[in-house]
Amino acid sequence: MENTHNAAIPCFSISALTDLARTPDTAPRLFSQELIARCDSEEQLFRFPCRIDAFIVSLCTRGESCARINLSECDLHPGSLLVCGPKVILERETQVPARHDILIVSPALLSRVRIDIRNTIPQFIRMGGSFPALRLTEGECASLHALIAMIEAETRTTEETTFTTETIYALLSAAIHKTCDIMARHTEHAAAPDKEKEGPHNRAEEYFRQFMQLLGEHYTRERSVGFYARQMCITPKYLTTLIKRVSGKSVSEWIDSYVILEAKTLLKYSSKSIQEIAYYLNFPNQSFFGSYFKRIAGMSPTQYKAQ
């Protein structure tokens, strides 16, 4: 299922996403195929939901907006740090004028940088789950901003030499380690009260994690609450109660959100026809899929595709 799923939804490289967003660089930059570093930027890279095969660090500097990471929403304010690992589905509200310090690094480039993979990568993965956004102190914002600004300045160098390459590698290493240091301190502080939670609450969160894992594996074929309840050996009513308590959304709402996000991504970026998308998502026909999509998305698949 995972392979089929990944094949159906394109996972963009940095250069492909930049071209698709119609914001290509006009001036030459070093590592332009593997790295984006911008300060106080209004990048429009994520105005539609998409996957990108890269590590993303985004610090809100001005304005407010909303980001969705694999359907989990988080509000971004000045000082909010958003971190994502590769291949998450990311969408950012772009109607609101907001600016960000942004660092996007391909796994290939990061593999050439001197960092402790065993300690840093788990931090990125964790941030995409329980801690999608953090509110930083002024000092933390200033430190991260300075590092991204230095990386941006170095990539504008017109000639690549051993020294410029090593300088960028060193700055990237510093930026990644600084980001992980910030994440570790904030998430450890936030996680500390969890040890004091009562057993039932912990069990509810464990059921929620199990449900989200199952949903990620089966949502293209299964949309019934009963299916997920049977997989977890509990009743549909109990499952619905637990998921609503933990997440604020019902099981049906989570299922619909996943299916619609998949449909939007396929409509926007795949070569599949609407009928093929309907069959891929296990709808009996295109008409049924169209009605389902319009009820939730507020427009027809054709209208969304034409945006």
Give domain limits for the chain. 2-193, 199-305
C-alpha distance from residue 14 to each of 36, 50, 53, 83 (Å) = 8, 12, 7, 16
Q: Using only C-alpha atoms, what is the Rg of the chain?
A: 21
Strands 80-84 and 11-12: unpaired
pLDDT on residue 271: 85
Edge-to-edge strand order for the sheet containing 55-62?
Answer: 35-41, 99-105, 55-62, 80-84, 133-135
The architecture that CATH gives domain 199-305 is Orthogonal Bundle (1.10)
Amino acid at 268: K
Low-confidence ranges of the chain (pLDDT < 50): 1-7, 118, 129-130, 191-198
Phi, psi of 136 (to 5 degrees): -95, 160
C-alpha distance from residue 272 to each of 7, 276, 281, 290, 298 (Å) = 12, 6, 12, 15, 21
Contacts with 205 (C-beta within 8 Å, 6 or more apart), sequence order: 246
Going by CATH, does the domain composed of 2-193 fall within 2.60.120.280?
yes
Chain centroid to CA 58: how far? 11
Contacts with 131 (C-beta within 8 Å, 6 or more apart), sequence order: 183, 186, 187, 190
Give dist(CA 194, CA 175) in Å, integer.
29
Looking at 132-198, list the stretches that DSSP marks H as alpha helix, in order from N- to C-terminal side.
Answer: 138-155, 162-191
Amino acid at 224: S
Give dist(CA 26, CA 125) in Å, integer.
33
Per the CB < 8 A criterion, the answer to whether 32 and 66 are in contact is no
* b (16+ CB within 10 A) / e for 283-302: beebeebbebbeeebeeebe
Give dist(CA 174, CA 168) in Å, integer.
10
Model confidence, pTM: 0.64
Cα end-to-end distance, the chain, whole Å? 29
Chain centroid to CA 222: how far? 23
